[in-house]
Structure 1
């Protein structure tokens, strides 16, 4: 955490159906009983923004938690994460709501987010017909994220559209249940189609200190070039919570105005890791410990336990174990510490919801941490279920998964040996009549995910780990 602390309607065939019609009750009653659901429905209607898109964006930013009007690390407020000096003031101008209400009132904040998103859509020239298609809002969503690069803007928008496709089932701090039903939506990426896919195959191991990480450099204004461990011994690993989203934190560390950074950022949903500062250099994350430590940020907010998933714990623990082994750091709570334990700090992260017992078990191996921290389901994402698998000798297993909500298949190869060490691994998926798609390289934990629409289509699938290879015939045709 790098700033002062704290951070239904359904689209069917392009038509916005009020939650009142779906539930068979008056809209006013639904709104009174479920104020946030009502706020999303009202904002979607008022500004002609697809309701499910609005909910998915808010969930990606905050898990629908306004955090009592306190800002995120990057200065964003409320459920829709309206950012000061960017979207917050613009929302005030459009909605005529005071900034104070936009910061602390959920309904005002949601309306403000919808208003800004609609303004971006208007600037992009979306017609009334186009606005009914959630896929056409991609560029507006990318712009809403305030990313400092096209690559991170794509990462931000792809996160929102992944949620749209996979569905959302969330409980608000007030106890409401908010859902988005999964559906297949093809995003119109426009110019962002040419941006680097940061969720694609990881960069070569030589580009990062940790083989499974994606490399996205922080601004040179946000860290100090050094020559550790020659200049300073590395003997601590500091655990942080971002007080913001994964994409938002990456963008913030790329902003030269931030004056903060960490070496790594870990995503909540699947444990994806991005490295932003080389370990030899001093990231600005922990005051007096900057010289001696490696900093790991974890997506989420300290006051909301929903961000701390098992996939995040396992992935982060594998990273911590890798760092500790390379520098000879003891795997104990004296040397692996929270930001709140750094001398002289006024920070409280990772907070009371962080499960240190589970985390340290994964780090030391007493809780299964020596096994692969990733599963086929975590690699492919929410909604995917394993329907077939094949052993790759003792080196790994290749899995075929299917998502009934959107008709997509996914293939992932999960390593069982040489875990944490880059070695030749691959996964492929071929839908009958289409070109085979392959993810192949030197990977530390898994290859994939390789996804393709395959409803009512035969598929070939397979992969490799070590010297073992599996190739299926065309099968699973219905």
Structure 2
């Protein structure tokens, strides 16, 4: 066994050395040649790095966008020590910044602050992962084959968070990207649905799956426990809790889940909210003390939001609505007043040096959603099903709610969700189902506060049955929408 491990280590070191000496017949230190004063510096950098390191250009852009929305933040680090648009990391457990410096013979300072150097460094690290996995030239030309390399690039500490990281990148490929950088440059990726080759992560838990075990405290959340080094086990009840603290991650959703699972982080929060669709993951039980707000730790629930304080593009309506529903649920559960004295930003914690959620956070909108002053269910079917889905049919469930059928023309998937109209915020029996002709029916059924679903399935050119239940009302469709 020791000999086998030594052999594997030698192979890995040899792969890294080979990657640093020669990639596709070129020195690894070679930087992409760009025209003088390009009008699209980041676009040219992505294309140049893709050509130099034989990494798909669209994959590089999608990875960068998932991490930073193509904002290098002036060379300042993320919460987990990541720099630049490619989020090259230096922390006790992950060192892609130093690896990129070695592979490209570029000073660390340049990798932190220069966009083109950072993109080249990210491409070199991703290519090195591909080489260690044994991807051939034919494999490298197939964007689906890069999935495992992308998962490893993120430095996740568990298979589930590694899969979430890579799935986020591949979802962006399917949806397409049109990003405007802080300097006004537009960088685009055309939608190109890809069925990824998940390799060793094929059987990893899917944190996006509605059928994954839900959190114990908030039924709409996934459960992905933080490292026990990053919180304290306790037995807090309603009498101990009087604050909810709003944070901004200074990083990505998948990356922050991974960071909170890393024992060296020494930080955590109870809940994390995703920008694109408001997805929620719980990482610390409400009863336990998360390390998120110093003097408020013992008395508060911490909610982290994907993104960066300086970039308003992360603060989507889906995020506001989902987070507000969570805050309202927690406040009602523990008797915390729904006002700005008791629902605070990290910057309001006494003695803190943090500024989040910052001036781009819309407290007025958020508190309207928390208090319900806007009226009605805070969720729409499009928000529940996600980006790219549009309603193609619906059926009323009496006065209790509506069940919706949606379709994503880019992916060929249908989605069904039941949106409640009554007993909002209270978990009541609600269900949604989708059955593609010739396949097994998929159902999401339980006690939910706002909606059931999303239930998604590939249904291009196939007939579907769909329906759901809210209160005592039920709807069941025939096979239809066959085109």
TM-score by length of 1: 0.90
Asked if 2 retains the 8 angstrom alpha-carbon contact of 1:155 and 1:198, the reply is yes
Q: Aligned match of 1:412 in 392, 414, 417?
A: 417
Is residue 90 of structure 1 aligned with residue 96 of structure 2? no
| C-alpha separation in 2, matches of 1:376 and 1:30 | 48
Q: 1:431 aligns with which of 403, 418, 436?
A: 436
TM-superposed CA distance for 1:427, in Å, is 2.2
**Pairwise CA distance, 1:285:** 0.8
Q: Are 1:213 and 2:221 matched, yes or no?
A: yes
Give the count of matched residue pairs: 448
> SS of the counterpart of 1:194?
coil
Structure 2 gap ranges (5+): 1-32
Q: Where does 1:142-291 land on structure 2 (aligned, <5 Å)? A: 142-201=151-210, 207-229=215-237, 233-291=240-298
Partner in structure 1 of residue 120 of structure 2:
111
Cα displacement string for residues 214-267 of structure 1 (whole angstroms, at most 9, x for unaligned residues): 11111111111222137x621111111010011111111111111111111111
* Aligned counterpart, 1:3: none
1:204 touches 1:442 (CA, 8 Å); kept in 2?
no
User: Residue 441 of structure 1 aligns with which residue?
Assistant: 446
Q: 2:86 aligns with which of 76, 80, 86?
A: 80
- How big is the shift at 1:473? 1.6
Supply the distance in 1 between the matched residues of 2:292 and 2:110 (Cα, whole angstroms): 32
Alpha-carbon distance in 1 for matches of 2:353, 2:211: 35
Which one of the candidate residues 350, 359, 375 is aligned to 2:380?
A: 375
**1:73-99 deviations in whole A, cap 9, x for unaligned?**
001111010111421111111111111
SS state at 1:32 partner: coil
Asked if 1:140 corresponds to 2:149, the answer is yes
1:378-413 superposed Cα distances (whole Å, 9 cap, x missing partner): 122111111111112222222111122232222222
User: In structure 2, how many angstroms separate the alpha carbons of the residues matched to 1:406 and 1:211?
Assistant: 28
| Contact 1:400 1:412 survives alignment (8 Å) | yes
Pick aligned residue for 2:405 from 382, 400, 408: 400
Structure 1, unpaired ranges of 5+: 1-26
Instruction: Give, in whole Å, the separation in 1 of the partners of 2:196 and 2:472.
Output: 38
- Please state whether the residue corresponding to 1:257 is helix, strand or coil: coil
Q: Which residue does 2:19 correspond to in 1?
A: none
Aligned residue number for residue 111 of structure 2? 102
- State the distance in 1 between where 2:144 and 2:427 align: 36
**Secondary structure of the residue that 1:402 maps to in structure 2?**
strand
Q: Which moved more, 1:113-122 or 1:402-411?
A: 402-411
Is the contact made by 1:31 and 1:39 (CA closer than 8 Å) also made in structure 2?
A: no
SS of corresponding position for 2:425: coil
CA distance in 2, matches of 1:113, 1:204: 34
Residue of 39, 51, 54 corresponding to 1:48: 54
* 1:422 matched residue in structure 2: 427
Secondary structure of the residue aligned to 2:240 is coil
Residue of 17, 20, 34 corresponding to 2:40: 34
TM-score, normalised relative to structure 2: 0.89
Shift of 1:441: 3.0
Q: Deviations over 1:194-226 (max 9, x none)?
A: 111111116666x42112111111111111122
Distance change in 2, residues 1:133/1:346 (3 Å): same
